[in-house]
């Protein structure tokens, strides 16, 4: 939000440069700090907030942006330091020293592989150690590398108004090149052309921006026309809208969210898409108890470790505590929502995180406590054949770490026995 506000008064070229500076610096923060610390008398993280971020921005331009002259990066950093603090001499000396001696910088060696990966790919060391223990160093490195690449821009066709082929052709006529997604039958990946929200096809509600993995979660629920469905944590409404399309805009969907501002975003999206069966409700998914449903989707609030490539700042504000806290909340939401499911009904629990405490362990604990009332249902019959390999022998859907072109999602489909 703040980044978008800051870029409002700049042209497209400058906006792109600002975005590259901010996202690039965040994606490489640990590596930048490691390098800067080789030339600083005190750790960079011990300096004031303005100084350390000015240093990071300057070092990023010097080390990663070939089109920015070193002199320009240093001079701009010094001027910023003059405006924000009293350490412009320190900034000037450190960056110039970095330029002279960058080739002499040494990095952690393979004797401590998690530390090495943590620095080289700029992810928190505690997280890299967890992933290395679970998946091995090679798989972890591949995922860290994918996290540091810009996420693909994927859209979902609004099948209430058009088809994927027609949308693809229309986008081409509007100067946008798109290719069909490899797993979702209604997705398109944008490979050239920007300003999607200015397009006529967007304004007519022909598509919504949504990653492939999120599209597959809605397919797993497989709601039928005429059914009553709860989307328990609905904002910004992408999955609720997709469910409506699957239901041919017939039936009813309650889109529940606790945040009034996010409810407005759902309403804005469904108006543009021409959807009429969604009723937005502001409420707590851990307490909501108004009616019964044929199908329920719980896209549970989580640590978001599966979407770090979209939110590079997120890797620096996650913690083990946040993972465990989210697991408690997820269990509360699941325990409440299953009471709202009709016998014989289906429920999909999903997250965009990678950690067992928020995924497999939540489901194992729930099934243990619910006795024989629920069973895991194989979601593969509801997924396209290209996505069947994403479901393991345990019935769980996982895109992490198998498919790095998609966000890291977890999902499970369960049936309430009659």
Query: Closest Cα partner for 219 from 93, 95, 391?
Result: 391
Q: What gap in Å lies between CA 406 and CA 408, rounded to an integer?
A: 6
User: Left if phi > 0, otherwise alpha if psi is -120 to 50, otherwise beta: which for 22?
Assistant: alpha
Burial class from Cβ neighbours inside 10 Å (0-12, 13-18, 19+) for residue 43 reads: exposed
Decide if 335 contacts 349 (C-beta within 8 A): no
The residue whose two tokens read 């693809």 is: 168
- DSSP secondary structure of 102-137: GGG-----GGGHHHHHHHHTT--HHHHHHHHHHH-H
For the record, the structure tokens of 380 come out as 């593969």
Pairwise CA distance, residues 142 & 404, whole Å: 8
> Which is nearest to 189 in space by CA: 216, 212, 219?
212
Alpha carbon distance 22, 8 (integer Å)? 15
Q: DSSP of 217-271, one letter per residue?
A: HHHHH---TT-EEEETT-TT-HHHHHHHHHTTT-SEEEEEES-HHHHHHHHHHHH
Judge whether 374 and 367 are in contact, CB under 8 Å: yes
- DSSP-assigned states of every residue in 12-51: HHHHHHHHHHHHHHHHTHHHHHHHHHTT-SS-GGGS-HHH
Cβ–Cβ < 8 Å for 396, 360: yes
Active-site residue, 352 included: yes
What span, in angstroms and rounded, lies between the C-alpha atoms of 244 and 257?
17
β-strands 187-192, 207-209 pairing: unpaired
User: Known catalytic residues?
Assistant: 352
């Amino acid at each position: 939000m703040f980044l978008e506000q800051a870029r409002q008064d700049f042209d497209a070229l400058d906006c792109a440069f600002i975005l590259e500076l901010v996202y690039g610096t965040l994606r490489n923060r640990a590596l930048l700090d490691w390098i800067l610390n080789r030339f600083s008398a005190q750790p960079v993280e011990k300096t004031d907030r303005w100084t350390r971020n000015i240093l990071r921005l300057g070092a990023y331009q010097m080390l990663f942006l070939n089109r920015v002259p070193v002199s320009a990066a240093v001079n701009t950093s010094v001027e910023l330091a003059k405006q924000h603090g009293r350490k412009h001499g320190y900034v000037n000396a450190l960056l110039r020293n970095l330029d002279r001696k960058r080739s002499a910088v040494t990095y952690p060696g393979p004797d401590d592989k998690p530390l090495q990966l943590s620095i080289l790919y700029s992810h928190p060391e505690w997280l890299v150690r967890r992933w290395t223990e679970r998946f091995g160093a090679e798989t972890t490195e591949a995922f860290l590398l994918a996290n540091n690449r810009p996420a693909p821009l994927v859209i979902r066709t609004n099948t209430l108004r058009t088809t994927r082929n027609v949308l693809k052709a229309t986008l081409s006529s509007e100067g946008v090149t798109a290719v069909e997604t490899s797993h979702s039958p209604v997705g398109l990946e944008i490979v050239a052309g920007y300003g999607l929200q200015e397009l006529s096809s967007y304004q007519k509600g022909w598509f919504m921006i949504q990653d492939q993995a999120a599209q597959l979660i809605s397919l797993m629920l497989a709601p039928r026309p005429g059914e009553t469905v709860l989307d328990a944590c609905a904002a910004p409404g992408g999955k609720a809208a997709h469910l409506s399309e699957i239901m041919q805009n017939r039936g009813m969907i309650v889109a529940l969210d606790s945040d009034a501002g996010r409810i407005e975003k759902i309403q804005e999206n469904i108006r543009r898409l021409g959807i009429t069966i969604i009723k937005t409700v502001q409420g707590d998914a851990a307490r909501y108890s108004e009616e019964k449903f044929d199908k329920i989707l719980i896209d549970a609030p989580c640590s978001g470790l599966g979407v770090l490539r979209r939110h590079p700042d997120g890797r620096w504000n996650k913690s083990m505590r946040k993972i465990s806290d989210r697991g408690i909340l997820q269990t509360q939401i699941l325990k409440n929502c299953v009471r709202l499911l009709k016998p014989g009904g289906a429920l999909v629990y999903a997250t965009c995180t990678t950690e067992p405490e928020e995924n497999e362990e939540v489901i194992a604990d729930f099934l243990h406590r619910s006795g024989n009332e629920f069973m895991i249902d194989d979601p593969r019959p509801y997924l396209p054949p290209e996505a069947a390999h994403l479901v393991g022998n345990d019935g769980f859907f996982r895109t992490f770490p198998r498919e790095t072109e998609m966000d890291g999602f977890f999902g499970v489909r369960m049936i309430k026995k009659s």
